[in-house]
Amino acid sequence: MSDLTGEIIDNRYQLIRQIANGGMASIYEALDTRLDRKVAVKIMHPHLAQDDAFVSRFIREAKAAAALSHPNIVAVQDQGWNQNGVPAVFLVMELIEGHTLREYLNERGRFEIKDAINYLTPILSALSAAHALGIVHRDIKPENILISKEGRIKIADFGLARGELIGSTMTAESSVILGSVSYLSPEQVQRGVADSRSDVYAVGIVAFEMLTGEKPFIGDSPIQIAYMHVNQDIPALRSKRKEIPEALDSLISRATDRDPDKRPRNAGEFLASLEAISIDLDPKKNQLKLDLDLPVEPIREKPRGKVKKIVEEVIEKTTEVIEDTKTLKRSEEKKHKSSKRVRRNRKVAVVLAIVLGFGGWYTLIGPGSRIVVPSTVGGSYNDALTAFNPLGITNVIVQKRFDEEISKGTIIESIPPGGGRIDSGGSVTLIISKGPERYTIPALKGLTPGAAKSAIEKYPLAFGKVIEEFNSNIPKGFVITSTPVAGSQVKRDSVVNIVVSKGVETIPVVSYIGKSGEQALNELTSAGFNVQSTFAFDEKVLAGAVISQSPAGDTSIAKGAKIALVVSKGSAYVYIPNIFSIEEAKAVRALKDLELKVIVKKLGSKKLKKVTNISPKVGSKVKRGSTVTITVG
């Protein structure tokens, strides 16, 4: 489509500059001359404006957005047909001066958690209003989320919207699946159906990209990415970024669940959960306080130290008594007479000396010389050695056993237990936890079911069911995967199911020759084929209909196979229009829109020249690309 900059549409909207150009329409910055304000004008390409079906869909886009009144949705202000000048079907919207969320992602990478929530809240608020009216956007992606210079977030492009108020509408170009494949929900890819939960899925993917700085799946082709969305779970946010709160991780996981029934039912429910998390993250709530449950240091008995202390106390007291006795004795010598008190103290000293001697023999040589085993339960092997070495316990026997509650490497019990006694040189047995009893699922991919069963039964695991699925990569009769997957840690006697390939799935294909090329593209793509469309002139087949199809219809073809369509561009010939008395620039533009080459001959000195002659003559049938000579004067 030629650039219409400078044209006045509907005697009201003066086009200032082209700001975007797509497969269906071009968007211009324009001036509303009636209200003296800038607007955005979306003009359908001329070749589509002749198709009633496309025009109807274009109008339904206007109705989709006009049915919504929300501060975070781009407002539609007008729609119509340009009756004067260049023929055009147009749509007028508010002009958002700023950038798209995609540009912000490209510049900033991942967002801070609070910033991401601040962006998601208005997005969900806008979609909540749409869902309340039964309208589903169906094409949420960063490119359709606008951020104005003032910071206002706006959702644009309800061109794929669907709802009771607007009927069914979709737009597509050749070889492109409807919507952006990185944000399509599994049900849109598989069945071509979408509801409010599909928008929830797309917002979840946008949230994933904002919080991690990357898309969940990267592939070599759109079909490969779509296949990943259907067959693989979106990675957990915390696997990419540890500081993300578990509640937010859980919410985004629910929103991007492959099963629509497990997602929030609509954007309103999604928004309510997000706002609850936002409140929990309020720094005034002191959410950063972390209470750590640290293991208590085990209390160890030190009997030898206690004995030593008691002996020291007895010796000290005995020394004091003896010292007192000596003093009294000297006093006696001076007085040449002994008192009853002195004689009593002497007896006490003798008794204490006997007790002290017996205690020393019991502790150092007799039965008391047995070692008291300290308590080591709850500690590690190294902790036990640290406690044992000062006591001379060197013969330590280690036994290990599984325990579901006590972590690996922690002492469960000792024999004898803490407080028990052993002879010098005796042994202590420590029972140390091996942690929970777990076994690793072996790699089974590519094995036969028999070989997979043998590999599983090498462990204390149970062989379960054999599930068959179509697969384009694994040959028929070989294992695709297992449940639980290879590398998983499972309990004893856990059941392991295997998925075995049924080979490549074949699907019957009908012939689309003579039918709508758009219908063929949508139906074949939805069925899982890689469709490639090319276009050619044809004098017998109407524009937009299929001329040929390869492989041919009425056969069964492997799912995912390539199907080539040749779609008619209509006749290769056009008729020379009547452009007499039309200004030179408009005449040249009209002829070029018909894919004709133009030679201009100028006569006279007028600044504004108009067509005075045309060759070939008006109404002549000529081939596209032919040269037309016009005389202006």
Nearest to 361 by CA among 423, 419, 307, 316: 307
Structure tokens at 479: 């294992």
Write out the DSSP string of 544-575: TBEEEEES-SSEEEETT-EEEEEEE---SEEE
End-to-end CA distance of the chain: 27
CA-CA-CA-CA torsion sign (414, 415, 421, 425): negative
The answer to whether 70 and 62 have CB atoms below 8 angstroms apart is no
Residues in the chain: 633
Residue that is written with structure tokens 């070692």 in the block = 371
Would you report the helix, strand and coil content of the chain in percent, each value rounded to 5? 35, 25, 40
Nearest in space to 128 (alpha carbons), one of 18, 264, 278? 264
The residues, ordered by sequence, that sit 6+ positions from 348 with a Cβ below 8 Å of its Cβ are 321
Which residue reads 């009547």 in tokens? 578
Catalytically active residues are 139
**CB atoms near residue 281 (< 10 Å):** 16
Dihedral angle over CA of 463, 467, 469, 475, nearest 10: 40
Tell me which amino acid residue 534 is.
T
Q: How far apart are the C-alpha atoms of 186 and 261, rounded to whole Å?
A: 12
Contact indicator for 228, 217 with CB cutoff of 8 Å: yes
**Hunting for tokens 């010098």 — which residue is that?**
424
Tokens of 560: 């995912």
Residue for token digits 């004795």? Answer: 329
Tokens 């781009």 found at: 74
What is the dihedral angle through the alpha carbons of 381, 386, 392, 393, rounded to the nearest 10 degrees? -10
Q: What is the DSSP string of 332-353?
A: HHHHT---HHHHHHHHHHHHHH
Give which of 446, 445, 438 is closest to 488, Cα–Cα. 438
- Burial (Cβ within 10 Å: 0-12, 13-18, ≥19) of residue 181: buried
Query: 586, 465, 506, 630: which is closest to 6 by C-alpha?
Result: 586
CA distance 613 to 630: 6
Return the SS3 of 631: strand
Question: How is residue 209 written in tokens?
Answer: 């990209």
* Side-chain half-sphere exposure of 317, counting CA atoms within 13 A: 14
Q: How far apart are CA 259 and CA 312, in angstroms?
A: 77
| Residues in a beta bridge with 94 | 39
Strands 597-602 and 627-632: parallel
What are the tokens at 159?
Answer: 């061109």
